[in-house]
Structures are given as structure tokens and as C-alpha cells.
Amino acid sequence: MIYEISHRTAYKYDAPVTQSQHVVHLAPRSVDRQTVRHHSLLIEPAPSTRTDLVDYFGNPYSILSIDDEHSELVMHARSTIQVTPRQSLNRESGTPWDRILPLLLEKQSSTDDLHAIDCATPSAATQTTPQVIDYAKASFPQGCPTLMAAWDLTCRIFADFKFDPTATDVSTPVSRVLANRRGVCQDFAHLALACFRAMRVPARYVSGYLLTRPPAGKPRMQGADASHAWVAIWTPEVGWVDFDPTNRIMPDEEHISFAYGREYHDISPISGVLLGGGRHIVNVAVDTKCAS
């Protein structure tokens, strides 16, 4: 499958911004099963400086400085990405979840091993609490294969929580999501990560896009798609394996990865600091189309 993705973000400010600096994660990365064929990023007003780098997790990102006074900022990323099917996996076999971290600590033979160890411990947005541990335990009986436990947790989050875009924002803690049983994909990914890490299973946050299909008989609405988030866990047999608790599926050809980290704040699409600006309105339009 080949996808064409358009991600346009526009900020409108109440007062002029005299200067701004931004960290931007809008460039896709090539990962297993995924090849980046093209990427461009249009920025208006044009930045006075732009530095393209690779972060700690291996994601491409840019640091921008905009010195021209402006009342509107537009960042429009376009990418063409080829995705191939994932291998068939047997969730009922493999290393038990409670052996994963000991095996990694014994081995530590590669950068990926160290990254997996890092992803087995809590982060600011995925704190381990007694409530998280209690919720996670039901999916992790002793000796259960890791993929089976991960799938059980994925299915439980899908069944127990309601998708509600009005219930949370980017700062909502996992504890509130767990108490209210509502949220969006970012919240469900953070909850899953907190549960995996409470059980010391290496897990990372994945941001990307999902091919959406219009209702029967309805046309696709341009720009009406959205970015998406899910998780990936590490096993010694196959490496990183994706799970999407928002949709109760194991991502395949219709999930397009853009970046991964320990949580959302590692790879938020656009962050920055402004001089001036006052209040602002942000509009995000995403369009994900299958090109072949």
C-alpha cells in the first residue's frame, strides 16, 4: 500500500508574534515494513533558520526560528509512504511477559536492547499507581506469553473505555482517564503504556495516521482525517509489535507510523515558544489517501 498524507496546521493569533521558535516532528521515519518515498514541509512565514536533526529515539525533527512578525503561522507537511503487510504472529506462544526484562538485562547487546530497557520504566505521563497495577494485573497471569497478555490488555481497554474527545486534553493524567473511563487514542495509548510498564514489559508510544473510510454512500471529506496513536511492545522473538487499544486491532497496512517515543510529549507534532501572540486558535486538517 502507498499512502499520500497531508497534515496542515494553522495558528491564528490575537496579537502579532514578533519572534518564535519551534520543535517540529512532522517528518516520517522509515521503520520495519515502511518506506518513505517523499516528504516536504512548507512553513509560512518562512523560518529564518531551520536545522534538521535526529532525536534520541531516531525520529527526524526540525528546529525552526521565525523572526518575521506574523499573525498566522502555517505548517503543511506532505508525505508519500509505502507500507507492507506485517508477518503473521502466534499470540499464544513466545516468551512469558515476566521473563522479558530479565532477558534484556542479561543480554544488553545492542542499542535496541537498551532502548527496550528504557521503555520498561514509567515516564511522566505513564506513572505507575496502585490503580494502574490493579487494572493491569488481570491481563498478566504468571507465565502468560507476552503477545497474549498484550492482546488481552488491548481488548479490555477497548471494551472498558469510551472514546470521547471532550473528556480529556494533552495534559490529562492516566489516573483521571482510568477513573472516568473516557478519552481519546492518546489517552488509551498512555494507559496501555502505564500498564505494560507496571508489569515491566518494554512498550513505546507510536504516533502516526490511520486510513479512515467514510460511511457507506458518503464521500471522503478532505482534511477530515486525524493523527492517531497506539503502542508497540518488545519481544525477543520478533522485536517490536504494534497494538491499537482504541480500535482493538494489531496494526497492519492501514496504520502509518510517523514517530515513536516513551510518550506523546517526546514526539508532539509542534511545540515552541513565542514572543507576543496573545491567545490563539489552531486548526489542523489531515488527509490520508491510498495512492495504490
For position 159, which CATH number holds? Answer: 3.10.620.30
User: Domain residues for 242?
Assistant: 97-266
Say if residue 224's pLDDT is above 70: no
Whether 90 is in a domain gets the answer no
123-171 residue pLDDT tens: 999 999 999 999 999 999 999 999 999 999 999 999 999 999 999 988 8
Taking a C-beta distance cutoff of 8 angstroms, is the pair 111, 118 a contact? no
63 and 162 in a single domain? The answer is: no
State the pairing for strand pair 70-83/34-44. antiparallel
14 and 49 in a single domain? The answer is: yes
Whether 57 is in a domain gets the answer yes
Instruction: Report how many domains make up the chain.
Output: 2
- The Cα–Cα gap between 256 and 261 comes to 15
107 and 167 in a single domain? The answer is: yes
73 and 166 in a single domain? The answer is: no
Average pLDDT over residues 227-250: 94
Residue 25, Cβ density class (10 Å: 0-12 exposed, 13-18 middle, ≥19 buried) = buried
216 and 144 in a single domain? The answer is: yes
Whether 89 is in a domain gets the answer no
Q: What is this structure's pTM?
A: 0.92
Name the residue among 14, 28, 19, 119 with its Cα closest to residue 81: 28
83-92 residue pLDDT tens: 999 888 899 9
